[in-house]
Amino acid sequence: MARRRRWGAASIAGFLLLTLTGCPSGEVPDPEPTAATSGGQGLPGRPTDASTDLPAYSGPPADAPPSAGPLTRVLATVDLTPATPGVFARLVAAVAAPDGGAYALLTPADRGLPQSLVTVGADFAIARTVPLPRVDDVWGLHVLAGGGVAVTGRLADGYGVEVVEPATGAVETTVLAPTAGRTDAESGRSVVSPDARTLYLFMTVQTGDGGTERLFAVDPASGQVLADRDLADDVDAASQYPVARQLAGLVARPGGGATLVFDASPTEVAEDRIPTLLTYDERLEPVGEPVRATGIAEEAETQSVAGAADGTVFLLVAVRDGAWILAIPDGGGAGPLLAQLTDRIYGYAMVVEPAQVWAVLPASVGAVGVDLSTGELGPLVPFGCRPNLDVRDVYPAPQGALVIGECDTPREDTQMLWFLGP
């Protein structure tokens, strides 16, 4: 580990629900899909059935806040073009700010130019823009306890984190591992602890000579590495193959630590995958065995992951007939199907509100909610983009959700930030 400091200036109709939690009175429910038996044969230590022997998700916790209801309004639409005058820059990530605003990360098409961190105030106006060294492959954007903003990913000379002071543009860089040169696959994810004082980062880098898969716990304020774990043996207990391109997400746990989500291949057939969770405490010691969210016969692949304050991991997985929304409680296993969607085109991003009642997903015209207690769809939230809209990602926000993407209104490929509320 090296450290240095630098200072400087789907059509919506396709979302109809087919099978939901519960059933009308008098009907006999079908067996839960997550209890399907395996048709494959795993090697010892690599089971191919769902982890139904652990406590299942039973709904929102008793101390969860009340639901705000479905998101029905666009509170603000922010055109980020003025943030980089004369330069076309793509919006690659955003994170909600505690005051109701947001931070947005823009990457210029010209690789010789630095990235820009844009502060959007609580009045939804662009407050300031500061440059920062490019992070070519952004894995996460986080607001820290001290007010800094952490950007994780592939840096100029390694994999790690840049901490930016959005008011001054001062940057501190921590390199956690050197760049591997030419790679066959590289990816990562990062999350911050509930108190925003510890950053957890997972990286998977595969080369022709092998690879590395490591989980770090870092104090972003000082750059100190608090823990560093090689996950090769942990992954091998669940999969014949490394995580590599099957990385799905990383979720913070309430008492410290993180849960890694990837699609494991427990047999020699790499395409036979199971959405799998590996859980670690604040010292990065394993908590229990690998948890399988489905059985191998269900042919599920993870599309998006969302976390909750109590450590519950929500998964949207693609299956043969569409997509499922599942939930795995912290320390628990496979459980009921919360919702089944016939269209999986827009399942690449998902946010679940703190009450764990409503989720929001991208849609062809903007966004749409799903009631996790019934599986029913909420109203569409149109963004008014013509002729084209590209919703890139959805993030949690205090007032609802934050959405990034491209809109052809008022001009082609306009980089947009949308604030959604109930």
Q: Which residues are paired to 188 by β-bridges? A: 203
The pLDDT assigned to 137 comes to 93
Which pLDDT score, from 0 to 100, does residue 182 have?
Answer: 82
β-strand 137-143 against 149-154: which pairing, if any?
Answer: antiparallel
> What is the pLDDT at residue 208?
83
Select from 140, 148, 154 the least CA-distant residue to 105.
Answer: 140
Give the dihedral of Cα atoms 60, 65, 67, 68; nearest 10 deg: -150
Coil, helix or strand at residue 33? helix
pLDDT of 41:
52
Residue with tokens 């395409």: 271
Domain boundaries, the chain: 90-352
Output the pLDDT for position 343: 81
Tell me whether the omega of the peptide bond preceding residue 329 falls within 30 degrees of 0, making it cis. no
Q: What is the CATH number of domain 90-352?
A: 2.130.10.10
Check: CB of residue 351 under 8 Å from CB of residue 306.
yes
Q: What is the mean pLDDT of each run of 10 residues along the chain (422 residues)?
A: 31 36 35 39 74 98 96 98 97 97 98 97 98 96 97 95 98 93 90 98 91 96 97 96 97 97 96 97 98 97 98 97 96 96 91 98 97 96 96 96 97 97 97
**What residues have CB less than 8 Å from 244, skipping those under 6 apart?**
184, 185, 187, 204, 206, 211
Question: What pLDDT, on the 0 to 100 scale, is given for residue 3?
Answer: 31
Q: What share of the chain is helix, strand, coil (3-state, %, to 5)?
A: 5, 45, 50
- Three-state DSSP class for residue 35: helix
The pLDDT value recorded for residue 45 is 54
Measure CA of the first residue to CA of the last residue in the chain; give whole Å.
45
pTM over 0.85: yes
